[in-house]
Amino acid sequence: MKRVGEHDWKGQDAERLIGSVLNTETNTVNLRTPDHWVRVLVHGDTAWITETSVPGPSGLPLGTQEPVLSLLSGGFDSVVAAWMMMSRGCPVHFVHFTLDCAQSDHAIAVADTLQSSWGYGTSPRVHLIDFQPVKESIRENVEPRMRQVTLKVLMAKTAERIAEQNGIGALVTGDALGQVSSQTLTHLRAIDASIDIPMLRPLLGFQKQDIIAKARLIGTADLSARAKEVCDLSEGLPVAVEAPLDKVADNAGRISDSVIDDIVSRELAFRLSDWFPGAYRFEQTIPV
């Protein structure tokens, strides 16, 4: 039994009385190991009996915590990570890095699916960043085996700029420990060391099948399953998995800050509610 309000009786008194009435054979009740449960909610002088209980996601109301900026790819992981932060009360905004091998409209569609089902009362912004110049600079200046972790470091540094410009105090990613070369513990430390803002990773200890199960729960799994893999910059060579922090920093430092300055200055930012497929592309000039 659950009760709300002031009463001149205790919950166990009501449980004994209700049980004794329902048990017509002995008019007694075993509160420690009952054979059957009857769930009753008493609110003031009104009582409800629950016939069926449906499992729910639980969590905190959106807006009870500060907003975060989610690095959105369009696959399973990043959107589930965003949902988990929403379930803890954080309004979520999104940053997506467009590449010639990425599907930007698909990624935003995944975010829109999440928002339409779970984001009531919030109005997230999407920040599109043309990351192709960074990719080309990495190809020119970074050895193939270091390119993947360098790409992730520069994404984190760029997302940090966007977050700071918009008064957002933390980033969110779908990293799961050991899932790919840039998500080893060594490389996650290197990424964290490259920025000052907190990087939250709610999926860090999840197995892939658990992440996909969460995606099914929130309704994004079918759409995320159609996502294409983001570019492999390694040119087919083995990639680094445990590069020291100083080596990661050295390779990321080969990309001029002016490159990041330029792509941030040309971002496309818009309300997710204003999006429709094809609306925001870098080859177009669209007012925000």
C-alpha–C-alpha distance, residues 24 and 26, integer Å: 6
How is the beta sheet containing 46-50 ordered, strand by strand? 2-4, 39-43, 46-50
* Domain that residue 270 falls in: 68-274
Tell me whether residue 19 is in a domain: yes
**Of 185, 138, 177, the residue nearest 157 (C-alpha):** 138
98 shares its domain with 16: no
Tell me whether residue 264 is in a domain: yes
126 shares its domain with 35: no
- Report CA dihedral (23, 28, 31, 37) to the nearest 10 degrees: 0
Question: Which amino acid type is present at position 217?
Answer: L
Q: Mean per-residue pLDDT for 29-52?
A: 82
Q: Among 235-244, 264-273, 279-288, which range has the highest average pLDDT?
A: 264-273
28 shares its domain with 104: no
11 shares its domain with 129: no
173 shares its domain with 213: yes
CATH number, domain of 230, equals 3.40.50.620
Q: pTM above 0.85? A: no
19 shares its domain with 125: no
Looking at residue 5, its pLDDT comes to: 86
Q: Mean per-residue pLDDT for 179-189?
A: 94
111 shares its domain with 216: yes
Distances (CA, A) of 257 to 96, 147, 253, 263: 19, 17, 8, 10
C-alpha–C-alpha distance, residues 248 and 140, integer Å: 16
pLDDT at 170 over 80: yes
37 shares its domain with 174: no
Q: Note whether 29 and 40 are within 8 A (CB).
A: no
Which of the four pLDDT bands, split at 50, 70 and 90, describes residue 33? Answer: confident
Looking at residue 288, its pLDDT comes to: 37
Looking at residue 283, its pLDDT comes to: 65
Facing residues of 268 across strands? 128
Q: Mean per-residue pLDDT for 232-251?
A: 88
Q: Mean per-residue pLDDT for 223-240?
A: 80
215 shares its domain with 188: yes
Tell me whether residue 58 is in a domain: no
19 shares its domain with 162: no
- Report CA dihedral (66, 71, 74, 77) to the nearest 10 degrees: -80
Report how many domains make up the chain.
2
**Of 128, 113, 126, the residue nearest 215 (C-alpha):** 113
